[in-house]
Structure formats: structure tokens, C-alpha cells
Structure 1
Amino acid sequence: MASMTVVKRDHRGQPMLEYSGTLLHRQPNWVLLEARFALPDADKSYHHFRQGDRLLEWFYADRWYNVFELHHREDDHLQGWYCNITRPAVLQAERLYADDLALDLMVYPDGRTLLLDEDEFTALDLPPADREQAQAALAALLARVRSRAEMFAAIPA
């Protein structure tokens, strides 16, 4: 399968992180990648990220977010979804670029949600139109969770 490089950038378009994933599916406006969490283990108050955890990552050229489905490195059980509010991804043949806007949403396997980094988002120097798009993206994500749409269909009714 083909490989694709992900370039995560900050809100100013400056590169912050680069990694590779396996391209599983491609459509004109989105891609689905599989990657492994390569950073050292990170215990956050909302989730324990482990080096080697399997991630299914959806990036969209027409949506202001991406979604990472989190699977445990040892038994592959679903741990939830980490959703990044971003500008629409720039999808190229072998690379993609995603500008992170700091605001994140953790969705647990039982459907509970937790909004993260709202203070960081508020502090960003963003054009008003970008701020509005980000808020609309968050609302769209929450609606998808509530309706169990797309990847969130795995949440029990």
C-alpha cells in the first residue's frame, strides 16, 4: 500500500510535526490513513497515549477538522476518537498538510465527549472567519457523534 506523509502545522502554517502513514482509502475530498503513535507515551488527564497505538486518521479537504480513531497497541480495542479542529487539509499525491487550530474534542467509546484546549484556541490570533468556521466544525462533529454518523457508528445506541 502507498505511504503518505502528514505535515501538522500550527495556525500560522509553520510545521510542527511530520510523520508517515499508510494510505488505506482516497476520495477526491478526503483520505484515510493508518499510522502508529510514534511519540513517547503521554499520560493526559483525558487519555493515555501509548507509543505503538494504532490510529485510523481521516483528513478532509472540505471540512475544518480531522478525526483520529484510537486503538490500543496491545489488543487493538477501540479507545475513542481524538478530533482536531483544523483548516481543511491540503491533500497532495504523497503529502498532506493540516493547520491545527488548537481546539480538540475527545470522544469516548460510550459517546461521552470532552472539549479540550479551548483556552489555547481563544488565545490564537485568528481571522474572525476562521474562528467561525472552527466553531461550526465543532458543532458539526458533535452532531455526528450524537447521530452516530460515519466513524461514530461504533458508539452503542
Structure 2
Amino acid sequence: MSANSAESARLLEVVLVKAGRTKIRYPAELLHDDGTRVTVRAPWAGASVRDFGFVRFEPGDVFTEHYWRDRWYAVKEVRDAAGVLKGHYCDVTRPAAVLGEELVVEDLDLDLWRSADGAAVLRLDEDEFAASGIETADPRAAAAALDALDRLEAMAREGDFEELLSWPPRSAAG
């Protein structure tokens, strides 16, 4: 699919699955789909403010979300209502799938936060990942998830996030 004005007006329903159940679903504007990376934009889908301590997601925030069909993560650029970058929230996931009008992603618990200035890079929810049982139930997926978190952290610390999210892509890092 090529980027054009008709495509940018298309909506997809983002479906986040966790532990076999739909955790959340929300409409998002399709910005680009090149067959490998899918980029969508959506307002904060939460019903209220979510304060993580290191960032607050709140009504008016806009997420530009990047999903890959061949990578075990998604990267979400988070901006406030005025367009100021808050940072990047990264989910470790199985590779994304577009099924009709749905973008389906399976969350594997591990997350990473990178502040707007790159000064804070935080690995999140490693305890949830360990408690999920995936390391026993699906060791291959667990290894891919841990590798994805390590790669995301390295890119976040080395300043490669801008290159990862640039369009057209300049890097084949995966």
C-alpha cells in the first residue's frame, strides 16, 4: 500500500491483545502502511489520566504509533495537546497483523519508556513478564521478547530512535 491522501483518511481499529484477551481497542487514523511498518495516529484512548510517575497520559495527548509485521515491538510517540513531545512508550509485542480493518497486536508485558530529551530510559514490567509464564509456555517467544527489549533499550540510549521512526526509513535495525 502506498502513502496517499486516500490512505491517510482510512481508519483502522487497533486491537491490543494480552494473555489471549482483548485489553483495549480504539480507532486510529492510518498514516502509512508499506507492508512492513504500519503507522497510525490516535488520541489517548484511556478514559481518564494515567499517571505512571515518570509521565502522565491524559485527554488531549496524541499518540503516533509505529508497528512492524517483522519486529517484536511497537513504538508510540506521545505528544501533549499542544504538540510538545512527552517521549516514546514502547511495547514489546509479537509482530503486528493487519486483518481487514483491524491492526492486531499481542502485548508481551515488557515495556520501555524514553523521555523526550532521551535522559530517562526505563525498562518496565519485567516482573509482569516473569509472572506471565511465557518463558515456560513459549520459550522462543520469551527469548524474542527479551531480545526486543534489549534492542529498544540500546536504540533509546544510543540516540537511534529518530532514525528508527524516520520516514522513509534509513535503518534496517530490527
User: Does TM, normalized by the shorter one, top 0.5?
Assistant: yes
Q: Which TM-score applies when normalising by structure 2?
A: 0.82
- Does the aligned pair in 2 maintain the 1:82–1:105 contact within 8 Å? yes
Q: Distance in 2 between matches of 1:91 and 1:114?
A: 29
Which of 139, 143, 150 aligns to 2:154? It is 143
5+ residue gaps, structure 2, are: 1-8, 166-174
Residues 7-46 of structure 1 correspond to what in structure 2 (within 5 A)? 7-10=15-18, 12-39=19-46, 40-46=48-54
Instruction: Spell out, residue by residue over 1:119-140, the C-alpha distance to the aligned partner (whole angstroms, 9 max, x if none).
Output: 1011012111111001110111
Q: Distance in 1 between matches of 2:155 and 2:33?
A: 21
Instruction: Spell out, residue by residue over 1:16-71, the C-alpha distance to the aligned partner (whole angstroms, 9 max, x if none).
Output: 11101000111111110010003111112121111120110001111101011000
The letter for the 1-side match of 2:15 is V
Instruction: Spell out, residue by residue over 1:71-101, the C-alpha distance to the aligned partner (whole angstroms, 9 max, x if none).
Output: 011x110000000011111123421111111
Partner of 2:74: 66
Which of 83, 97, 116 aligns to 2:104? It is 97
Runs of 4+ deviating beyond 2 Å:
146-154
The letter for the 1-side match of 2:65 is E
Cα RMSD between the aligned structures?
A: 1.6
Identity, % of aligned positions: 35
Partner of 2:14: 6
* 1:153 CA displacement: 7.4
- Does the aligned pair in 2 maintain the 1:60–1:89 contact within 8 Å? yes
Q: How many residue pairs get matched?
A: 152
